[in-house]
Amino acid sequence: MPPPETRGYTFEVSWVFALFLAIYAAIWSTMWMQGQLRWARSEARRAQPPKAAPTPKHLPDWSKSLYSRAAQLRVELWPWAQMCRRVRITDPDVRFGSVRSSDFRRAVHEGARLMHGFVRTLERIELESPERLTTAEDLVLALRAVDQRLAATAKLVAQSRALEAFAVSHCDACIECFDRAERLLGELGDLLASRRGAHPYRPGREFGGDGAAASSAA
């Protein structure tokens, strides 16, 4: 129990602290509501997710598998990209140059995990048959760069303390990575679909995506 001469001072400090806490809670709640309203009116909220295109039948088995995985990954990454966009708009701490939402942590972790799994698939293909991805070398390098950026942010998030704030630039970088990954995966799918597969009945000939046979040598 505090001495008699300090009791009034302790009460005044507690009262002032409670007042500041109430003011902060009111301001935070107001900013949170404003963020929700901005998200409800934003174009990003009405964006449509990508759809997985059917796998071309003329592709060899390994290309079919890679095409299907790339198309599926575009679909799987989209909700995590949307989560980052929503945090960027709704998190009250954005006004102070940071984000604190646990949704950001979850989006980074899951997005990095999915992206790294796909890059590992590309590495296995290169290890087994390096010539298969020769024409897609630039796309593979770009996808690796995206994977590395997401992995670096995921590591930062994993090593942080609970409720620790992150600079808004980290959220913006993740959104950029997700958008770039979606474009690159689409380009990889287009490249795979444009290839000709081996003709199933005529050795020395190729079978195109339009079902027509084309001679591989004059």
Radius of gyration of the chain measured on its C-alpha atoms: 26
pLDDT tens column, 172-184? 999 999 999 999 9
Q: Are 108 and 176 in contact (CB under 8 A)?
A: no
Q: Residue 11: its pLDDT value, please?
A: 54
Give me the domains of the chain, ranges plus CATH numbers. 42-197 (1.20.120)
Please indicate, yes or no, whether the overall pTM of this predicted structure exceeds 0.75: yes
Helix axes 61-90, 4-41, angle to 10 degrees: 130
pLDDT band at 12 (very low <50, low <70, confident <90, very high): low
Q: CA 178 to CA 48: how far, in whole Å?
A: 15
Could you give the CA distance from residue 181 to residue 50 in angstroms, rounded to a whole number? Answer: 12
Query: Which DSSP category does 214 fall into?
Result: E
**Of the listed ranges 64-68, 154-158, 183-187, 209-213, the one predicted with least confidence:** 209-213
